[in-house]
């Protein structure tokens, strides 16, 4: 009962897949992925990482993004 979303579908730059049971877990996995990529010196992920961090300073935008991810997740077929 898990679903898969890619880094790209979450606003990131690559096709790394996250397979989790809930949208919240997917968001956590993406957060980890962005952090690890940036720590590993991957500059293509720093913009998405900054956007992810900065999101919480913009509650309205954060909620819109969060609802969008939830909606996309709910619309996906289960695997
Ligand atoms: Zn990525």
Percent of the chain scoring above 70 in pLDDT: 99
Residue 79: per-residue pLDDT: 65
Q: Give the number of domains in the chain.
A: 1
* pTM given for the model: 0.89
How far apart (Å, rounded) are the C-alpha atoms in residues 56 and 6? Answer: 21
For the residues 46-50, what does the mean pLDDT come to?
Answer: 93
Whether the per-residue pLDDT at 38 is higher than 80: the answer is yes
Q: How far is the CA of 46 from the centre of ligand 1 (A)?
A: 10
Residue 8: per-residue pLDDT: 96
Q: How far is the CA of 14 from the centre of ligand 1 (A)?
A: 4
Instruction: Provide the residue range defining the domain that includes 15.
Output: 3-75
How far apart (Å, rounded) are the C-alpha atoms in residues 71 and 63? Answer: 12
Nearest one of 9, 43, 45 to 27, comparing CA atoms: 9
CA end-to-end distance (rounded Å), the chain: 6
Range name among 3-12, 38-47, 53-62 with the lowest pLDDT average: 53-62
Q: How far is the CA of 33 from the centre of ligand 1 (A)?
A: 7
Strand partners, 3: 20
Whether the per-residue pLDDT at 9 is higher than 90: the answer is yes
Reduced to 3 states (helix: H, G, I; strand: E, B; else coil), residue 60 is helix
């Amino acid at each position: 009962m898990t679903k898969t979303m890619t880094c790209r579908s979450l606003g990131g730059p690559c096709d790394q897949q996250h397979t989790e049971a809930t949208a919240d877990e997917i968001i956590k996995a993406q957060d980890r992925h962005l952090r690890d990529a940036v720590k590993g010196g991957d500059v293509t992920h720093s913009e998405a990482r900054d956007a992810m961090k900065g999101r919480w300073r913009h509650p309205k935008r954060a909620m819109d993004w969060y609802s969008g991810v939830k909606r996309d997740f709910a619309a996906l077929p289960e695997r």
